[in-house]
Amino acid sequence: MSTLKIAVVQYDIQWLKKAANLTTLRQMIGAFFKDSKAINLMLLPETFSTGFCTSEPDVRESVDGGDDLLFLKEVATTYNCVVAGSVFVAQAEKKVNRFYWVWPDGQVAYYDKRHLFRLGKENDFVIQGHERKIIEVNGIRILPQVCYDLRFPVWSRNLQDYDMMVNVANWPAVRRSAWEVLLKARAIENQAYVVGVNRVGTDGRGVAHSGGSIILDYLGEPLEVAEDNCQQIITAELNFSALKQFKQDFPFYLDADEFKVSQ
């Protein structure tokens, strides 16, 4: 497949109100599909059902799957697309920040967040993921990342094993400029499409989020940008044949430095 049609959901996550958040998402997604053609991939923000509630011990799904995973399966089956978003999942005495990917046939893959947000004490309550993963959707290779991962380019370096990077986040408005610059840098340096999925609204700790969800091409140029402080679904159809040709014309990756990442 040379193209992939994606949808990015930017919305105001209500703090610790899972039922309300899932209701809002059902309404937004249902309204979107009434007016839109089929898509291949729908992306939700980090911790889409609860907000970034790291320290609350009860905010963690069963490792066998809870309400959040059932919701993702429901959306994937109903609208015949892959759906992805992150949730907290129980692991030992703590939890992991797990970025689930769910297919219409019930298949599930995931990536556990590698870089834990030390300033927010995420590392006190969440176990670090160690495995870099590539998720394939309709033949397109995707590198999943979660929020703070964006600041660490070695972890996201394209080893010529992915065509698109996706970062889902609860990125605060006060550091919005960093969000925009780093997403563009990841696209340019890795010669890949980059999708940033962020929330809006103020969370339960008083942290404001302005959005900035964006779909970038491999030159770092925006294809679609969500409105600030607005619940919205944006879409784009990405052309991977054009990406392949660009890399043939400008094979910068051939001069990349070799390295190994400690797991």
- Report the catalytic residues: 46, 113, 147
d(CA 11, CA 25): 8
Q: Specify the DSSP class assigned to residue 181.
A: H
Q: DSSP string covering 152-170, please?
A: -TTTT---SS-SEEEEE--
For residue 257, the SS3 value is: coil
d(CA 240, CA 218): 10
Residue 248: CB atoms within 10 A of its CB come to: 8
Q: Which amino acid is at 45?
A: P
Q: Evaluate whether 74 touches 61 at the Cβ level (below 8 Å).
A: no
